[in-house]
Structure 1
């Protein structure tokens, strides 16, 4: 890796890293650790019937969020975000294949409810009217009420949250955009706080924090006497899982047997951070992450976003970048983010 990658290299590396590791892990999603040949290159995704190098829902939904945040001038517009997710789901918008695949059950359920409620309550209103704002608040409340059970603590908002850190002009802004971005489909506080923690780390990595500094920052957040992240009391289950990691050495001393890579949001966050802190290069960490199996594409995607921000784009193996399908969609989003950042600094 270069001594100090430029900010543009880090931003590009972050999004490319997400997409590359998503595509790398897709073919072994749902497979048990140790029961498949070690993944080191792009493979066909047989369960989805597609060839090598196609990114999945993780990257597609991150692309949707990126375009929404930039088009809305760096602010959250939940209706705009949701409409893009629905367009991906139903029309293949931002898909690597032209059609959606891999959508989680919980995400599909929330988008179905959003679709019907927008039609019934919102679409006929003037978007900036008081009535429209009240309608959105009512829909959000219904979503919260319907999806606040623990069984809805999947990783579907964490896997797409990366653009919140890439467009933000400050760490508090990154954390707040991340918080808001989880609400449309994953309103449980555990999911929301996982997104906030991750966005904070990515933002710090973009700005040159060392791995030791990142690990200590996370440890201080988890062990702060106030128990807060950005003035929000930390979700207890998330805090309980991560508070034992106070330094880089704590991550390095953790064995793979102690890491789970399921679609549960806490497992996914821990596994991706472990892959990042356990290794010294983008490629080694990516291989470690996707070979954990189970929800391999999402653990890979979460890892790739943070690692790409840390190492920069040149650290991502050329062979993986060359094999990635629809790199044009990723490049378009990156250029849009970089232009936005240039004009808002």
Structure 2
């Protein structure tokens, strides 16, 4: 379980350096891809510091760690709002996040006004990857498939209620859960695609199918992915790249580096792919020199232990 959380964190931190950069610029600066966590980037991140991807993953994780709170959706929304309003580690009290996506900002402002996380989402037409990047704690915390799918979709819907987003989160978490249970990657991907089909989303099922045909090591040769939004923030592009990553048999760092070096929304694509790769390979597969820099490394290890104990007792 720690591998999944740290995989998100590591992919995020690695990609933060080149976020918004095109493939060509990354290739010029990093001929072999960015292979170290050095921070910087558009927002001047300290090395290993969480961006919104990891921070909001932590918000959902905190909701699952709390005991006695039966409404994990509402709890997730409250923690996300804490992040937005500056009640968060590593930031001055009341300070704004360095980066926040448009749909995330809109959804959290609506939640702050209404107190209802079930109606705060932006609705159809806003299909960014801002809920997919934070969804993996549900796969770790919930052993029951029906509940896992429901909560994946509801937590997405706090900000991203377009069905492409909600179903993408459900399918992704079914893949992650299958990997955690020891299923091989191809079987996990098939489970994710079946989930999308069961939920009636052909676009999500097709995105998983397309990702199954992509080879990250080939994509980085030209930078041409033929993805709809060129991996610049569209939820189905990020989902396709994550599928391609988890089916790639190479070690964790080689695959994550290739996902990141494609550019554009590099940190989020790295985080989403890193979560599945971490679920596949475990925490030991992530380079220790990367892990040692991660802002929430100790907290995520401790959280994974708690969730694993709970799961074994369920």
Which residue does 1:4 correspond to in 2? none
Contact 1:58 1:159 in 2 (8 A): yes
Distance, in Å, in 2 between the alignment partners of 1:93 and 1:76 is 21
Q: Secondary structure at the match of 1:35?
A: helix
Question: Structure 2 vs 1, CA of residues 220 and 196 (structure 1 numbering), >3 Å: closer, same or farther?
Answer: closer
For each residue in 1:24-71, what CA deviation from the matched residue of structure 2 results, as whole angstroms up to 9, or x when unmatched?
111111111131222000112242223211121111111111111231
Distance, in Å, in 1 between the alignment partners of 2:277 and 2:55 is 19
Question: Structure 2 vs 1, CA of residues 175 and 96 (structure 1 numbering), >3 Å: closer, same or farther?
Answer: farther
Distance, in Å, in 2 between the alignment partners of 1:243 and 1:304 is 19
Residue 131 (structure 2) pairs with residue 157 (structure 1): yes
Distance, in Å, in 2 between the alignment partners of 1:185 and 1:215 is 26
Across the two proteins, how many residue pairs are aligned to each other? 300
Alpha carbon RMSD of aligned pairs, Å? 2.4
For structure 2, the 5+ residue unaligned runs are none
Q: Secondary structure at the match of 2:25?
A: coil
For structure 1, the 5+ residue unaligned runs are 1-10, 119-135
Distance, in Å, in 2 between the alignment partners of 1:32 and 1:327 is 29
For each residue in 1:291-345, what CA deviation from the matched residue of structure 2 results, as whole angstroms up to 9, or x when unmatched?
1111111111111111111111111111111222342332343233234324x42
Give, in angstroms, the shift of residue 287 of structure 1. Answer: 0.8
Distance, in Å, in 1 between the alignment partners of 2:210 and 2:52 is 31
Q: Secondary structure at the match of 1:165?
A: helix
Which residue does 2:284 correspond to in 1? 314
Contact 1:69 1:167 in 2 (8 A): yes
| TM-score normalised by length of structure 2 | 0.86
Larger radius of gyration: 1
Give, in angstroms, the shift of residue 193 of structure 1. Answer: 0.4
Residue 188 (structure 2) pairs with residue 214 (structure 1): yes
Give, in angstroms, the shift of residue 286 of structure 1. Answer: 1.0
Give, in angstroms, the shift of residue 261 of structure 1. Answer: 1.6
Q: Secondary structure at the match of 1:34?
A: helix
Question: Structure 2 vs 1, CA of residues 176 and 149 (structure 1 numbering), >3 Å: closer, same or farther?
Answer: closer
Which residue does 2:118 correspond to in 1? 140
For each residue in 1:78-130, what CA deviation from the matched residue of structure 2 results, as whole angstroms up to 9, or x when unmatched?
22211111111112425588863221111111111111223xxxxxxxxxxxx
Which residue does 1:126 correspond to in 2? none
Distance, in Å, in 1 between the alignment partners of 2:216 and 2:21 is 26
| TM-score normalised by length of structure 1 | 0.79
Question: Structure 2 vs 1, CA of residues 264 and 81 (structure 1 numbering), >3 Å: closer, same or farther?
Answer: same
Question: Structure 2 vs 1, CA of residues 177 and 170 (structure 1 numbering), >3 Å: closer, same or farther?
Answer: same
